[in-house]
Amino acid sequence: MKAIKSYQGKKVLVLGLGKSGINAAELLVRLGAKVTINDLKTPKDPTIIKNLQAKGIKVITGSHPLELAEQNELMVKNPGIPYTNPLVKAAQAAGLPIITEPELAYEILEAQLVAVTGTNGKTTTTTLITLMLDQERTAGRAYAAGNIGIPASQVAQKATAKDVMVTELSSFQLLGITKLRPHIAVITNIYEAHTDYHGSRANYVKAKLRITKNQTAEDYLIINWDAEEWRKLSEKSAAQIIPFSRKQVVPTGAYQQGEYLYFKGEKIIKAADIKIPGGHNIENALAAIAAAKLMGQSNQAICQVLRTFSGVKHRIQYVMTVKQRKFYNDSKATNMEACERALSSFTQPTVLLAGGLDRGFTFERLIPYFKHVRAMICFGETAKLMAAAGKAAGVKQIDFTQDVVSAVPLAYKLSQPGDVVLLSPACASWDQYPTFEVRGDRFIKAVENLATEQEEN
């Protein structure tokens, strides 16, 4: 951890009492700042507030007092809180700089930084890169951090110059960076997402591109080369461009040609040897290969990870087989692109569990991907819209249920031996669950209960 003095005596407002907010507040105190943390909600566990107060942190919950904007010199904002929030707007009006927790982490980071963003695949890619960089390592270690669930500020305090921090960054987090400069940045892809937060797709794209805003010719931007838009975005970066592609040979990057994956003409691994299913995971593997090779990793280390890594939780995660039905948890599929990728990963008859938060979309674009769908079970705010797409696709069995828990036993009844039962909602979870992780965990528990019941029968 770098010993920096820029926060000594500075009055800092941390907005949001989540995991990243608590870590940011504690780090700021360690750096000598006078910290206030504010949240609209009061945590159910009173020890959270007591522990913060014991460290000299002022805690205000239950409201967003606008005067806090006038009383502080900097705001560290929870990325999920929109810029339309009254306190955030008051901070902007008062001229407060507003950053997010990864920016704070970067200021103290001694380790090398690899940063990953994208609409889909960023968690899997972040995990693959971390595992690859940790394989056969003789000094230091690779840490995964950021939007993957481990606050970057927590990791940055313990990472040394011998280490590397691989950080997943969301568009929300990227809006709050000023100096953050990854040596290697990765953009997995950019689709339609979070327009309710950003206001437009153009703003969303600009937020994603901030991952490379501070890079120079000494750095690298690994970017998906399979869409013209993404190729043009690379022109806005000052970094060395390393493309990856499933569709064409890119001699300066990573690509699939025939049965094999290559990096700059060097054969790395047979595509069929990659353990996690789906064409989208070929893309994730290519991005990870590029990052690992740029960091000097051996083909042996890279292949060992790709042959053994079984996937990230909630991302086409194999749960278990119940009476010859394979259950998969893809709760992270919070948009249509992710659902399309999940459906494309299987050729077996599939019972699809889908639905969730209504963001004003209809689901006709999913119709071409329903060719293997035997039955659909729809829930949440978009249940009827999802069912309409299934009906248009000719899915013969479409049922409605309350939530993912009640969908599991129904899916079992509608399936046959050899089928896949796939939770891939194509929607955010917030109409029924606080996070996609909670939704996925409820699904897993329901499958486990189903397996127990079937064993007893």
Annotated binding site: 118-124
Dump the DSSP string for 300-322: HHHHHHHHH----TTSSEEEEEE
Instruction: Measure Cα distances from 56 to 13, 29, 129, 358 in Å.
Output: 13, 8, 38, 42
CA distance 222 to 290: 7
CA distance 339 to 315: 10
Helices first, then strands: H and E counts in the chain = 17, 20
Q: What sign does the dihedral 289-292-294-298 (CA atoms) show? A: negative
Q: Catalytic one among 34, 77, 122, 198?
A: 122
CA distance 192 to 417: 36
CB-based burial label for 27 (10 Å; 0-12, 13-18, 19+): buried
Angle at 97 between CA 22 and CA 145, to 5 degrees: 40
CA distance 384 to 316: 24
Residue 280 known to be catalytic: no
Binding site members for ATP: 118-124
Residue 326 known to be catalytic: no
CB 327 within 8 A of CB 404: no
Neighbours of 41 (CB within 10 A): 10
CA distance 390 to 396: 8
CB 215 within 8 A of CB 185: yes
Q: Catalytic one among 38, 72, 147, 335?
A: 147
CA distance 54 to 39: 18
Q: Catalytic one among 64, 77, 183, 194?
A: 194
DSSP class of 265: T
CA distance 216 to 178: 15
Residue 147 known to be catalytic: yes
Which positions are catalytic?
122, 147, 194
